[in-house]
């Protein structure tokens, strides 16, 4: 059985279910499995299969302690709400391709993972009669409280996935004033008895760092356990349950190219990925490890180009100005999933990873040995776009293809023109959000004067492009907000305590 352990130590080994339930390892590391790629995908058999069938093939390799029936149930449930029959349709874009990942309920790619994660989690509760000890039985009756720091899109996608899920609560922290109007409305109008949404004074990194500190706070954990029978977990992309569903669409895109005979079996394909926390692009690397012929994975950043600098110099340095841009979901200086990549490219050197992450915590900076960087650069290429370049990319893509992209996708579209790629390989741009999530920025990039409200911008964009706005976004107009609290970063632990008590009270005294 494949087991998972921390990127920082191999001492404690857990199953995939335990890793998903726990979210992050006790030492602050991320869960990884050393068996990644030992068993590979039968890529040649994929063309013609449905997205759901491909998902089963991929997930059974990555989550080996889930039964096929459990996986099927998760997959069917997760993707039934997607508005496109192919789930993540691949479309041609001139000489290249775009993989539309935004047809889920919240119109961002995070739905692909966050519709699956709650369903995975439901199968991690130890069932009565199956518990091997009193301890496990108690664990099975525990409530889980999901804490999520969001730069804009994760929050809503996680809320939608976890709302009213049994024995589970969810609290979302977003940076006050740093998400789009549509993103904010999506979150603060969220329904459900088990949800909490709060604006935090600070940026995404401040909120994410505090959430990580809360996960590491043993006293708080004991308090929640005792007073609310609640254990904390994460829906951020540090959770392996968030990561693995994203591996599927790389494989599905490749299968589609094979099916339409744009490529022959074995041909490499490049993927250009709008990147923030490094979850999406890391999933592309996992796909490669499973045997998918992936050429280059291009990390596309916005003006917060810490990853570009890292990949070009080998020095990761978060001591720099933070920019709030029109691509807020990529406004990140601490890219958490990089830790998993470093683990794999250093051949599992947990000592090295511990040292680097310690350096990051203490000095905001670390330097990766050149031998490791060399291997990384064989797979990963990089590019970044400033805001003028993002706007130009939106305009160019419309002029050249009659296709409207959002500002995040635009970073990857820009990368098409400034990176070389694998010779003759088809290049696939991952489209991570519907342009209707950012209608104001998109309209003005297209040279249209933006009306006052984001909803009027949606209408103007629909008129211009002929593609209607997703109903779930357009219908937010005029909805009453449920959550208007704003707090300081220091108040986050107290907020967690209050919400845990509230959810525990609301669902009765089921200990």
Ligand X SMILES: *Cc1c(COP(=O)(O)O)cnc(C)c1O
Residue 30 contacts ligand X per CB under 6 A? no
Listed in sequence order, the DSSP H helices in 104-215 are 110-114, 117-122, 134-141, 153-162, 181-188, 204-215
Strand (E) or helix (H) holding 313:
helix 306-313
- Rule CB under 6 A: choose which of 239, 329, 346, 350 binds ligand X: 329
Could you say which of 5, 17, 21, 110 contacts ligand X (CB under 6 A)? Answer: 110
CB neighbour list of residue 29: distance below 8 Å, 6 or more residues apart: 6, 7, 8, 9, 339, 350, 353, 354, 357
Identify the DSSP state of 44: G
Output the six-digit token pair for 322: 């933070």
Segment lying near ligand X (by CB under 6 A), choices 22-30, 203-211, 273-281, 380-388 = 273-281
Q: Which of 245, 274, 295, 439 binds ligand X (CB under 6 A)?
A: 274
- 24 sits near ligand X (criterion: CB under 6 A): no
| 277 vs 305, beta carbon nearer ligand X | 277
Contacts of 419 (CB under 8 A, 6+ apart): 272, 296, 298, 381, 382, 383
Site stretch for ligand X (CB under 6 A), options 68-76, 132-140, 260-268, 277-285: 277-285
- Residue of 17, 49, 91, 110 with catalytic role: 110
Q: How far is the CB of 150 from ligand X (least distance, A)?
A: 9
Distance between CA atoms of residues 201 and 442, nearest Å: 27
Site map (CB under 6 A) of ligand X, residues 417-436, x = contact: ---------------xx---
Min dist CB 274 to ligand X, Å, is: 4
Rounded distance between C-alpha atoms, residue 286 and residue 343, angstroms: 13
Closer CB to ligand X, residue 115 or residue 329?
Answer: 329
For the segment 150-179, give every residue that binds ligand X (CB under 6 A): 153
x/- contact string, 390-409, with ligand X (CB under 6 A)? Answer: ------------------x-
Torsion of the alpha carbons at 190, 166, 336 and 338, rounded to the nearest 10: -120
Of positions 108, 149, 214, 307, contacts ligand X by CB under 6 A: 108
Minimum Å gap between C-beta 230 and ligand X is: 27
Please tell me whether residue 334 adopts helix, strand or coil conformation.
Answer: coil
Q: Which C-beta is closer to ligand X: that of 151 or that of 256?
A: 151
Q: Which is nearer to ligand X, 43 or 98 (CB)?
A: 98
110 is an active site residue: yes
Q: Which of 169/276 has CB closer to ligand X?
A: 276
Q: Are 287 and 381 in contact (CB under 8 A)?
A: no
281 or 504: CB nearest ligand X: 281
Strands (E) across 113-266 are located at: 143-149, 168-175, 195-201, 230-234
Q: How far apart are CA 28 and CA 211, in angstroms?
A: 11
Active site residues: 110
Q: List residues near ligand X by CB under 6 A.
A: 108, 110, 153, 237, 274-280, 329-330, 408, 432-433
């Amino acid at each position: 059985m494949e087991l998972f352990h921390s990127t920082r130590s191999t001492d404690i080994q857990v199953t995939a279910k335990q890793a998903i339930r726990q979210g992050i390892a006790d030492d602050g590391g991320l869960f990884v499995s050393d068996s990644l790629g030992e068993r590979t995908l039968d890529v040649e058999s994929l063309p013609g299969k449905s997205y759901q069938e491909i998902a089963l093939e991929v997930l059974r390799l990555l989550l080996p302690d889930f039964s096929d029936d459990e996986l099927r149930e998760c997959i069917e449930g997760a993707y039934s709400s997607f508005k496109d029959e192919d789930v993540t349709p691949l479309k041609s874009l001139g000489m290249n391709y775009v993989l539309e990942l935004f047809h889920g309920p919240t119109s961002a790619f995070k739905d692909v993972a966050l519709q699956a994660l709650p369903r995975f989690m439901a199968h991690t509760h130890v069932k009565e009669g199956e518990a091997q000890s009193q301890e496990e039985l108690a664990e099975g009756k525990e409530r889980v409280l999901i804490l999520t720091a969001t730069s804009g899109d994760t929050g809503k996608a996680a809320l939608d996935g976890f709302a009213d899920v049994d024995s589970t609560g969810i609290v979302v922290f977003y940076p006050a004033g740093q998400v789009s109007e549509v993103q904010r409305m999506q979150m603060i109008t969220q329904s459900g008895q088990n949800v909490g949404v709060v604006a935090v004074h600070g940026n995404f990194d401040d909120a994410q760092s505090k959430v990580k500190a809360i996960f590491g706070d043993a006293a708080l954990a004991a308090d929640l356990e005792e007073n609310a029978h609640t254990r904390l977990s994460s829906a951020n992309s540090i959770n392996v349950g968030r990561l693995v569903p994203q591996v599927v669409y790389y494989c599905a895109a490749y299968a589609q190219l094979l099916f339409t005979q744009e490529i022959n079996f074995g041909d490499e394909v490049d993927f250009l990925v709008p990147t923030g926390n490094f979850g999406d692009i890391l999933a592309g690397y996992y796909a490669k490890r499973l045997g998918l012929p992936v050429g280059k994975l291009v990390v596309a950043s916005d003006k917060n180009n810490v990853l570009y600098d890292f990949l070009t110099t080998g020095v990761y340095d978060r001591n720099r100005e933070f920019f709030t841009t029109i691509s807020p979901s990529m406004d990140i200086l601490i890219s958490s999933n990089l830790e998993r990549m470093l683990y794999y490219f250093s051949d599992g050197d947990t000592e090295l990873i511990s040292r680097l992450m310690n350096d990051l915590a203490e000095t905001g900076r670390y330097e990766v040995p050149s031998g490791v960087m060399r291997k990384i650069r064989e797979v990963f290429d990089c590019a970044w776009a400033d805001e003028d370049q993002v706007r130009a990319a939106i305009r160019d893509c419309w002029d050249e293809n009659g296709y409207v992209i959002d500002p995040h996708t635009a970073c990857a579209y820009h990368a098409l023109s400034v990176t070389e790629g694998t010779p003759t390989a088809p290049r696939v741009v991952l489209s991570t959000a519907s342009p209707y999530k950012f209608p104001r920025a998109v309209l003005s990039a297209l040279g249209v004067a933006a009306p006052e409200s984001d909803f009027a911008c949606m209408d103007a964009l629909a008129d211009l492009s002929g593609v209607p706005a997703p109903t779930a976004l357009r219908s937010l107009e005029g909805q009453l907000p449920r959550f208007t609290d704003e707090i300081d970063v220091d108040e986050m632990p107290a907020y967690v305590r209050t919400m845990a008590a509230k959810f525990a009270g609301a669902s009765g005294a089921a200990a």
